[in-house]
Structures are given as structure tokens and as C-alpha cells.
């Protein structure tokens, strides 16, 4: 069975390729096909790399789909910076909706059996009340977030295609992903902890669900082949919801240090963050966002293979390795 992966050079994509190749060597699966925007990327043995350029609504997928049995579609536009007013939503639509629909229709026409789509928990909202959890049956949001809106529209289009063709669709809604090589806000939080400064987070009493990179790719790999995943939507997490102070303490422990947390009222934190244009990031530190992945566990028999603490330790170890490699290259 050939599995095609889009977004193969991304944070999740590279880890998924390693996992799929490992499964292929164990089960005689012949090919993992990695789609990239440009040439020059190196991949482990057993991966066939194909260059597709920017994925758009006019990409010709047919030559790349010969022999493909399943697709894991990770490619997406996540951040749009410095776009002209109104252009951001159009760019999300082009990449996250139109290009996804083009690929899915081509896949169905070429006889691809299963299409696994990595969506986002953002389609359900940015936060939950402290005692609330998101599940697969939670109502979707029609908020102003262009990224979330594009992911939701893509989900709906994929379900329509599944209803009209023989191709099975699996939708995976993920919360924040962390693991070796993570950047963005989680990477920034790790750097803050690493500096050892007291952090004003002790007054936060939230709960947030996360998903470790190795747990996510394990689940995606299962969705490629498990019969019970067909035409299902899943929300997924590590299964251990952490407050922001607890997460920071665990990051510090993974780094082999202790961290001092001081109590500052969350409203004051929000006001200061908003004044510096960091209101959205502060919300993610202060508010709760919990998901219940019972369906994934019961329907697919899935359990996260790695604990939060182990994933954090591997994340720190990889960061330190990269730092050493950069320092060596600079000498």
C-alpha cells in the first residue's frame, strides 16, 4: 500500500514519515510518498520524494496518485503575516479549502481508498469553560478566525466527497502539538523557562489539553489503516490536561531546573499582554481548552504511547542537540 503525505517537510510531516517507514519495513508496505514544495529535502531510506510546488486549486495530482491507497493531508496555511487587508482569508481559502478539495476529488477519481485530514480543535472554539470539554459532537464555531473557518469548510467539503464517492475520509482535530523541533508559542515558552526568570503564572487555574508529536503521529498512522476509522471524526489529546503552571513546572523539570512562579491576577496579565499586542497568546496561557478523546480510545483501541513527561524530555534533548550542532557548525 502506498501512502502519500502532504506537508511532508513540516513539524508533523517529518515525524509521520519516520513512523510510516518504520511500519512499512515491519509489514512489507512498499512505498511512502512525500510531497514537497521544492527540491533539495533529504528523507530517510524508503521514502519517495516528489516535488509539487505550492499546492493550489489547479495542482495536477493525477500522476502522483498512481498506486496510492491512502493520503494523509497535512499541508496547510497556518499563519498569514503582513497580508493586505482582506487578503488573509482569501489565502486561507485557496490553500486550506480549494487545494484540499482539488486533492480529494482527484484522489477519489484515482481510486484512493482513504483520505486522512489533519484539522484543528479551533473549529470547535478557542477555549472551554473550566468544567466543559470538547468532543466530536460539540457544535462547531463560525467565529472570525480565518484559519479555523477554512479548516471547518474543508471538513464539510471532504464529508460531501466521501458521501458521493467510495473514498473514506477520516478527520482528526488536534489541539496544540508539542515535541522535538517544536517552535512557535510552545518554543517561546520553553525559552522563557530556560532563562530561569520568575514567571507571573501562579494565579492561573486553567486546564488545557495538548498532544505530543509522537502520540499524534501514532494516531494518524492508525487512522490510515484501521477499518473502524472510516468516515469518522476524532478529537485527540494526550489524555492528561494540565494547568499552565503545571506545564511550566514540567518543562522546567525536563530541563533539569526548578522554576519560581509568582501570583499575578489573570486580568492584569491579560491587560498587560493586550497593551503589547500579545492578547491572543495570553489567552492561550490563561484560558482552558479541554478535549475528550474517549472515542479514539474506544473505537480504535488507541492509547497514547508516550507520556507527557517523556515527550517533554525528548523535546528538550532534541533542542539541546540542535543547539550543539549549530554551535559546532559556527566554529
**How many CB atoms neighbour CB 40 within 10 A?**
8
pLDDT of residue 163: 96
What is the pLDDT confidence band of residue 26, given thresholds at 50, 70 and 90? Answer: low
pLDDT at 180 over 90: yes
What is the distance between the alpha carbons of residues 270 and 282, in angstroms, rounded to a whole number?
Answer: 6
Residues annotated as catalytic are 147
Which tens digits make up the pLDDT trace of 48-97? Answer: 888 998 888 889 999 999 999 999 999 998 865 445 545 578 888 999 99
| For the ranges 60-64, 145-149, 153-157, 315-319, the one whose mean pLDDT is highest | 153-157
Parse the chain into domains and list their residue ranges.
2-181+210-241+290-306
**Greater model confidence, 29 or 279:** 279
- Per DSSP, the residues of 65-111 read -TTEEEEEE--------SPPTTHHHHHHIIIIIIHHHHHHHHHHHTT
CATH code, residues 2-181+210-241+290-306: 3.40.50.720
Q: Which three cell numbers stand for residue 238?
A: 494526550
Percent of the chain residues topping a pLDDT of 70: 95
Query: Is 33 in contact with 50 (CB distance < 8 Å)?
Result: yes
C-alpha closest to that of 187 among 196, 178, 195, 174: 178
Which tens digits make up the pLDDT trace of 186-236? Answer: 888 999 898 888 999 999 999 999 999 999 999 999 999 999 999 999 999
Segment 142-147 mean pLDDT? 79
Amino acid at each position: 500500500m502506498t501512502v502519500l503525505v502532504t506537508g511532508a517537510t513540516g513539524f508533523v510531516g517529518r515525524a509521520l514519515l519516520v513512523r510510516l517507514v518504520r511500519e512499512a519495513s515491519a509489514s512489507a508496505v512498499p512505498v511512502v510518498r512525500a510531497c514537497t514544495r521544492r527540491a533539495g529535502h533529504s528523507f530517510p531510506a524508503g521514502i519517495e520524494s516528489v516535488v509539487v510546488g505550492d499546492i493550489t486549486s489547479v495542482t495536477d495530482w493525477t500522476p502522483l496518485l498512481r498506486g496510492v491507497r491512502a493520503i494523509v493531508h497535512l499541508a496547510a496555511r497556518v499563519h498569514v503575516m503582513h497580508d493586505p487587508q482582506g487578503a488573509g482569508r482569501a489565502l486561507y481559502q485557496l490553500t486550506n479549502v480549494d487545494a484540499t478539495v482539488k486533492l480529494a476529488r482527484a484522489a477519489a477519481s484515482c481510486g484512493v481508498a482513504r483520505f486522512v485530514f489533519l484539522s484543528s480543535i479551533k473549529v470547535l472554539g478557542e477555549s472551554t469553560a473550566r468544567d466543559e470539554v470538547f468532543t466530536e459532537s460539540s457544535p462547531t464555531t463560525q467565529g472570525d478566525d480565518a484559519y479555523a473557518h477554512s479548516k471547518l469548510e474543508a471538513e464539510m467539503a471532504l464529508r460531501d466527497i466521501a458521501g458521493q464517492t467510495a473514498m473514506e475520509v477520516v478527520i482528526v482535530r488536534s489541539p496544540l502539538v508539542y515535541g522535538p523541533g517544536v517552535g512557535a508559542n510552545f518554543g517561546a515558552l520553553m525559552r522563557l523557562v530556560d532563562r530561569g526568570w520568575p514567571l507571573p503564572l501562579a494565579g492561573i487555574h486553567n486546564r488545557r489539553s495538548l498532544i505530543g508529536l509522537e502520540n499524534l503521529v501514532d494516531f494518524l498512522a492508525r487512522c490510515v489503516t484501521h477499518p473502524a476509522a472510516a468516515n469518522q471524526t476524532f478529537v485527540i489529546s494526550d489524555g492528561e490536561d494540565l494547568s499552565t503552571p503545571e506545564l511550566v513546572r514540567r518543562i522546567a523539570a525536563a530541563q533539569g531546573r526548578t522554576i519560581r512562579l509568582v501570583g499575578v491576577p489573570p486580568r492584569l496579565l491579560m491587560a498587560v499582554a493586550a497593551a503589547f499586542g500579545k492578547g491572543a497568546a495570553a489567552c492561550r496561557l490563561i484560558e482552558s481548552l479541554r478535549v475528550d478523546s474517549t472515542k479514539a480510545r474506544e473505537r480504535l483501541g488507541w492509547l497514547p504511547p508516550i507520556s507527557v513527561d517523556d515527550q517533554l524530555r525528548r523535546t528538550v534533548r532534541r533542542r539541546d542537540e540542535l543547539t550543539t550542532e549549530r554551535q559546532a557548525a559556527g566554529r
